[in-house]
Amino acid sequence: MQTLAIALGALVLYLVAYHTYGRFLARRIFKLDPAARVPSVEMEDGTDYVPTRKGVIFGHHFTSIAGTGPIVGPALAVIWGWVPALLWVLFGSILIGAVHDFGALVVSIRNRGQTVGDIAGRVLSKRTRLLFLSVLFLALTIVLAIFGLVIASVWDLYPQSIFPCLIQIPLAVLIGVYLHRRGINILIPSIITLGLMYLTIFYGNVGVLGVFNQMLGGEPGVIGDGIPTIAWVAILLIYSYIASVLPVWTLLQPRDFINSLQLISALGLIVIGLVVAGLIGGAPAADGERQSLEIVAPAFRMAPEGAPWIFPFLFITIACGAISGFHCLVSSGTSSKQVKCESDAQFVGYGSMLTEGFLATLVILACVAGLGLGAKGADGTLFGSAAYDARYGSWAAAGGLGAKVGAFVEGSANFLTALGLSASFAIALMGVFVASFAATTLDTACRLQRYVVQELASTFVPRETVGSAQLRLNPLKWLTNKHGATIFAIVVAGTLAYMPGKPDGVPGTGGLLLWPLFGATNQLLAGLAFLVITFWLWRRALPVWFIVIPTLFMLILPGIAMSMNVVTFVKESQWLLAVLGLATIALQLWIIFEAVAAWPRARGVLEDLSGSTESLPEGGRSC
């Protein structure tokens, strides 16, 4: 009953937070106006700037920020005990993460859909823009290089998930084109598509589908017996290029809406299964007895074998479930260009983060309670605390991608089997869930990297006057084009990914080389985004008391974590990581110095508004 009470209590807490603190921010701080001019309408181009209903944009935004982050992070962090992980997810998402995502979305909407890196150049200083964009480029390069490996690994572990994920792409394109031409409601065709996906999951191990999945992914649970990792990474990066240059209505919006329905249905099944397992126990074991649902992990575990200190690394390990800097890129990169009504920003920005927090809560419960209903071990199926100990006996045992994803997949699948679903179908369903969200993050990250490359390139391309005799060719001009910028992004990421991640590793795992930097860099982005939001409010003489502590928290913690990582890198002679880590710390300190210098003279002094929606004449459209 304790597990059930936590799940229901978290759901109530998030609903209350949305209708209290979220509403306060929307009405009293950001003062959202349904009649305000928005970028999607003022700059509509049919490709990136497309006015979109809030239900559809919620689907895109949530699936893009979620990815595997709220799964992998919490699934590892419970090694320090379930109480610290749960508290950070609940209160971090409400008071920090949702404020960050919501604020970045609003500030970008008020600045014609520009990224927070571009906006930083006006609200802080011109130098800050280049520094900020450099950090964004590094972080997104790591994401692009690693997520192909993540998806390939999930497909290798759960081959049944391959065809459902692949078939989703052409079906989403058909829906997008049909919707664009006919103006039909997206809900019905998306539900039909989701039903077809579930059918292919159910029959994924039989007939032609079974042969197809096994040919590409090999045997379930066996790593390295399917298509080579490097081949998957190359295919996925090419797909990301295509997806990121297509108009958002063609693939991005319909696919993300389908995945949002998948999320709702999967969360619904997990919650119902959790309720059933909590009341009557899990599926009957071999002896016919139902296992009682109990939390089998310790509440606190301060010194797991081989694990780093809980402070600050708990707050770095759990990112997406509580707060993640990557979210500011989605808010200001794609979502702000699609919101058609300013008042929708609370639902999209604040609501999506709370939904992700609830997902992370369920992941924690799946790993600390669901896993106890039965998990595969070396000597057969393990139950209770033995199942937890087998997965979380040491940092090395829990740290691999397969172990982290597997703990969630098996634990949540146990909730579904309590409903009477077969174990194979339940595991495949959760495998599709993980792989689909990783894919949406991959191609959204590629589109975001395109924006960053274009903004960086524009810094070094001089302004040209049409007809001027001084017109010059600039070798970087091609990077200001969406195709050139995207090709550059995937070539850089592909080059990194091609390298072996370890001396004895295989090509395609190169993203692992820089992955140790990502956790702290990602959280550093959140702190820098908070700086931009804070200065935007400060220049308008709006309240900043609610954001000061989160800003300091997300600047100090990543700095401490990165400093500790650099010490470790030096001790282990990992000089590339040490140099990049020190460079990241230097960039952070430089940006903070710029902020401190600008703070006293920024109060009530508006920045240059020529690039903002606020500079447009009054009078807009009512939603």
CA nearest 506: which of 149, 154, 230, 232?
A: 230
Least trusted range by pLDDT, from 40-54, 251-265, 280-294, 439-453:
280-294
Per-residue pLDDT at 17: 98
The answer to whether 206 touches 422, Cβ cutoff 8 Å, is no
Cα torsion 65, 81, 391, 500: sign = positive
- Please provide the average confidence, as pLDDT, over all residues in the chain: 88
The backbone region for 546, taken as left when phi is positive above 0, alpha when psi lies in -120 to 50, beta otherwise, is alpha
- The band of 132, judged by pLDDT with boundaries at 50, 70 and 90, is confident
CA distance 600 to 362: 44
Query: Model confidence over 185-223: pLDDT tens digits?
Result: 778 888 888 888 889 888 887 788 888 888 888 887 676
Query: Model confidence over 318-361: pLDDT tens digits?
Result: 998 999 999 999 999 999 999 999 999 999 999 999 999 999 99
CA distance 230 to 499: 9
pLDDT at 610 over 80: no
CA nearest 278: which of 287, 270, 286?
A: 270
* 15 contact partners, CB below 8 Å, separation of at least 6: none
Per-residue pLDDT at 96: 97
CA distance 68 to 317: 13
Using a pLDDT cut of 70, give the percent of the chain over it. Answer: 94
Beta carbons within 10 angstroms of residue 542's beta carbon: 14
Nearest 5°: the CA angle 267, 352, 96 is 115
Nearest 5°: the CA angle 53, 58, 62 is 160
The answer to whether 373 touches 383, Cβ cutoff 8 Å, is yes
Task: Work out the widest C-alpha separation in the chain, in whole angstroms.
Answer: 87
pLDDT at 402 over 90: no
pLDDT at 114 over 60: yes
CA distance 404 to 360: 13
